[in-house]
Amino acid sequence: MLFWVIIGLLILLTVSLFALALLRGRDTGVSAAQFDLQLYRDQLNGIERDLERGVVSKEEAARIKVEVSRRLLEADKAVQATGDVTRAPRGVTYGAILLSGVVLAGSVWVYQVIGAPGYPDLPLQLRIDNAEEMRTARPSQAEAEASMPANEAQADPRHLELVAKLRTAVAERPDDLKGHQLLAGNEAALGNYSGAYRAHIKVIEILGDKATARDLADLADLMIMAAGGYVSPEAETALQKALERDPNEGKARYYSGLMFAQSGRPDMAFQLWRDLLEVSASNAPWVGPIRGQIEDAAAWAGVNYTLPALASGAAIAGPDADAVEAASEMTPEERKEMIGNMVVQLSERLATEGGSAQEWAQLIGALGVLGEVDRARAIWGEAQSVFAADADGLAMIRASAKSAGVAE
């Protein structure tokens, strides 16, 4: 309230002074040229008085009179060429006062709309400290998971039965690396990301020092998926360990930027994403999400940033002309085997190197042809996360998922 009282008084004082100046202004009826004319006449009279007192000699007085007389004639010409000096109409004066009031009132209204009345000044260091405090006090992984709605995804009963058996098997063999890897992958395919990252934790424990940066980044990925896209302190720890092993791990760098974006540090998010975008292939899985968010991060960070054009991605690996000709002579079983081999190669490449939306769509479509609906559904679920910020790419993948029967 005190803020608005002070603002009101300042506005009233400003308008009052301006109005007083306009209302008290008066016309003397003397223009600048008339004033000069009178000045030069007084100077001529002064020369005569100086000559009588002996202040100047006759020669000097004559020279000064010539110069002043010349200026007097010029001033007289200026007076003749100048019309009468008139005062501005009273309506103009009142209009100027009214306009000043409107401008000042408009300034108050704009401040109310885009300003923050009542808030104290927020210096840069204070904002950084607040962001760090928010990052430190943010919810844990368990709290984030507890706030997530129950997973209602429908799965093949046979798949559910196999996963249940796999859970039992790894529980009996806690040091079975391959078993835990299979369990993590299948839990993720079912959309049970909480179970997936817990199985992946066991994978990393078994690997020990042999766990790679990718292993740790995958753990963080599963934890973030389980929390609905939120980067928890536990996920941040996994990301930090991944970057300690490989500072260039793309997935870890992307999610680290996302963590800063969620914690009130868009400047840090922008720096991480810009540097990662500059060195990433156009078909890397994190390129789409970064391109969908980096301009907002730049704007919040106060950076004038123009998103570069997306370079064309690598061509989709497919059969050459000889393979196509050979396929025409194959039996249905042989053609299915060939497609299966292509699917394996494409799946491995997307898992290790990432790929474009078209490649993801091709993989889902191929799995649909092979009748591997569960795998197609799992990859469609992952694609929705990878291409969440790429509407066009996601639409392309969704069309392929519909043809495969795994999307509505």
pLDDT at residue 313 above 50?
A: no
Q: Dihedrals φ, ψ of 44, to 5°?
A: -65, -45
Q: What's the rounded Cα separation, in Å, for the pair 184 and 194?
A: 10
- Do residues 164 and 284 share a domain? yes
Q: What's the rounded Cα separation, in Å, for the pair 404 and 402?
A: 5
Q: Which residues in 233-247 are b (16+ Cβ under 10 Å) and which e?
A: ebbbebbebbbebee
- Do residues 149 and 275 share a domain? yes
Question: If you average pLDDT over every residue of the chain, what do you get?
Answer: 78
- Do residues 280 and 148 share a domain? yes
Asked whether the CA dihedral 155, 157, 162, 164 is positive or negative, the reply is: positive
Q: In this structure, is residue 351 part of a structural domain?
A: yes
Domains held by the chain: number: 3
Q: Are 234 and 141 in contact (CB under 8 A)?
A: yes
pLDDT of res. 210 = 92
CATH number at residue 259: 1.25.40.10
Give the residue-averaged pLDDT of 338-364.
72
- Do residues 24 and 151 share a domain? no
Q: In this structure, is residue 293 part of a structural domain?
A: yes
pLDDT at residue 129 above 80?
A: no
- Do residues 369 and 269 share a domain? no
Q: What's the rounded Cα separation, in Å, for the pair 124 and 114?
A: 19
Can you give the length of the chain in residues? 408
Q: Among 28-37, 53-62, 143-152, 361-370, whose mean pLDDT is lowest?
A: 28-37
Q: How do residues 184-235 score in pLDDT, each as one tens digit?
A: 888 888 888 899 999 999 999 999 999 999 999 999 999 998 998 899 999 9
- Do residues 16 and 85 share a domain? yes
Give the residue-averaged pLDDT of 285-311.
86
The most confident of 84-88, 128-132, 203-207, 355-359, by mean pLDDT: 203-207
- Do residues 357 and 259 share a domain? no
pLDDT of res. 315 = 40
pLDDT at residue 174 above 80?
A: yes
Q: In this structure, is residue 121 part of a structural domain?
A: no
Q: Are 310 and 357 in contact (CB under 8 A)?
A: no
Q: In this structure, is residue 219 part of a structural domain?
A: yes
Q: Among 18-32, 124-138, 333-347, whose mean pLDDT is lowest?
A: 18-32
Q: In this structure, is residue 122 part of a structural domain?
A: no
- Do residues 99 and 71 share a domain? yes
Q: Dihedrals φ, ψ of 136, to 5°?
A: -70, -35
- Do residues 225 and 92 share a domain? no
Of 301, 330, 364, which closes a domain? 301
The more confidently predicted of residues 210 and 387 is 210
- Do residues 159 and 250 share a domain? yes
Asked whether the CA dihedral 176, 178, 182, 187 is positive or negative, the reply is: positive
pLDDT at residue 86 above 70?
A: no
Q: What's the rounded Cα separation, in Å, for the pair 389 and 294?
A: 11
- Do residues 223 and 357 share a domain? no
Q: In this structure, is residue 206 part of a structural domain?
A: yes
pLDDT at residue 88 above 60?
A: no
Q: What's the rounded Cα separation, in Å, for the pair 341 and 61?
A: 116
The most confident of 152-156, 280-284, 296-300, 323-327, by mean pLDDT: 296-300
Q: What's the rounded Cα separation, in Å, for the pair 80 and 302?
A: 60
> Which of the four pLDDT bands, split at 50, 70 and 90, describes residue 321?
very low
- Do residues 139 and 96 share a domain? no
pLDDT of res. 238 = 95
Backbone torsion region of residue 354, taken as left when φ is above 0, otherwise alpha when ψ lies between -120 and 50, otherwise beta:
left
Q: Are 231 and 255 in contact (CB under 8 A)?
A: yes
The most confident of 205-209, 309-313, 364-368, by mean pLDDT: 205-209
The residue range of the domain holding 291 is: 135-301
pLDDT at residue 36 above 60?
A: yes
Q: In this structure, is residue 307 part of a structural domain?
A: no
pLDDT at residue 69 above 60?
A: yes
Q: Taking CA 295 as the corner, what is the angle to CA 290 and CA 297, rounded to the nearest 5 degrees?
A: 85
Q: In this structure, is residue 94 part of a structural domain?
A: yes
